Amino acid sequence: MIRTKLLGLGSYVPDRVVTNDDLRFLNDQHIRQEQPVIETNDQWIQQRTGIRSRRYVPADGSVNTSDLALAAAQRALDDAGAKAEDIDCIILGTLSPDMHFPGTAVFLQKKLGISGRNCACFDIRQQCSAFVYALQMADAFIRAGTYRRILLVGAELHSHSMDFSTRGRDVVVLFGDGAGAMLLGPTETEDEREGVLYTAAYADGSGAMDLYLHIFNIAHRPYIDYNALDREQNQVIFPQMDGKRVFLHAVRGMVMAAHAALAKTNMTWDDIQWFVPHQANLRINEKVVEVAKIPPEKVLNTIEWYGNTTAATIPLTIDYWRQQGKVKKGDRVLSAVFGSGYTWGAAIFQV
């Protein structure tokens, strides 16, 4: 039987560390001002979210989402001992693409030096749930024999597109820049517990307007009619969120998805080494762990240092803890994710 195997893992975060206190003083060019720009504070952010800092790319436009994706992808390729030429499919999850179209996967393909080769490129738009959705797609492609080397990447560049003012403080404190990547391929095995064991993806469009970014309304004429320099008028260009509703649905969705994953695979927490939840808010993850009765020593988080890197959080977190020596090759991970849409899901796989 053909199963999907993780061949390589890599991640990348930019060098600039922005602490909660730094953030208060940054303007939208990320330049420190003398007086606070955003009414918030370290204590509020840590208490409500568990976040202490996040990483930002330079504010000069020199780094794009596809550059973050490239750095993570190169590390995943190195980890697998593979070359970019081996890749025959890229699946890239992001809500912060290089541009509206074409998708970011083709820019990554070009930067990997494999443009024009026989390599399909997909962008997927499942926000914080992108990893599980992408893994489900990759797993199906590999088991069907459609592709043999799939590069799965989650990459986000949030720091350029948030509202650096008190109005945007509920969102701006949460998000950071970063990328994570996996190289996946087939393995022949009779062991049902090897490789990618399980994926499930869910959605509920009735929650779509609880976390969204408009930018433009395609039905409107003209479809862009705002003045980006007018702070009062330009709300459409910044993410909007009903944090309380997102919080509740995230807990519910991730608990349900984690329970279903264990039930459908006839596994218990004894069979799983690590629970790696999406990194949106430490309080969300603590609630999920409490309600789903997950052994706390099996939980891996990185939100404290990286904030929410949306599509990147799962491979980034696994790679971080692998570098710390906790996660080992062959360990079994259960991931649960939740994001804008609403979309959510879970997966069980071996590192």
Residue with tokens 């820049």: 177
In angstroms, give the least distance from the CB of 179 to ligand COA. Answer: 17
- Contacts with ligand COA, residue ranges (CB under 6 A): 40, 44-45, 48-49, 128, 169-170, 173-174, 211, 241, 243-244, 246-247, 250, 280-281, 284, 308, 338-339
Catalytic choice (20, 64, 281, 308): 308
Q: Which is nearer to ligand COA, 141 or 175 (CB)?
A: 175
Catalytic choice (278, 281, 285, 301): 278
By three-state DSSP, how is residue 10 classified? strand
Q: Which is nearer to ligand COA, 33 or 146 (CB)?
A: 33
In angstroms, give the least distance from the CB of 299 to ligand COA. Answer: 17
Known catalytic residue at 227 = no
Known catalytic residue at 278 = yes
Known catalytic residue at 160 = no
Q: Which is nearer to ligand COA, 273 or 309 (CB)?
A: 309
Report phi then psi at 78, rounded to 5: -60, -45
Inter-residue contact 172 to 314 (CB < 8 Å):
no
Residues 221, 262: Cα–Cα separation, whole Å: 49
In angstroms, give the least distance from the CB of 173 to ligand COA. Answer: 4
Q: Which is nearer to ligand COA, 194 or 286 (CB)?
A: 286
Strand partners, 95: none
Residues 278, 272: Cα–Cα separation, whole Å: 17
Catalytic choice (20, 128, 158, 249): 128
Closest residue by Cα to residue 331 from 310, 350, 312: 350
Sign of CA dihedral 182, 255, 263, 325: positive
Residues 43, 344: Cα–Cα separation, whole Å: 30
Active site residues: 128, 278, 308
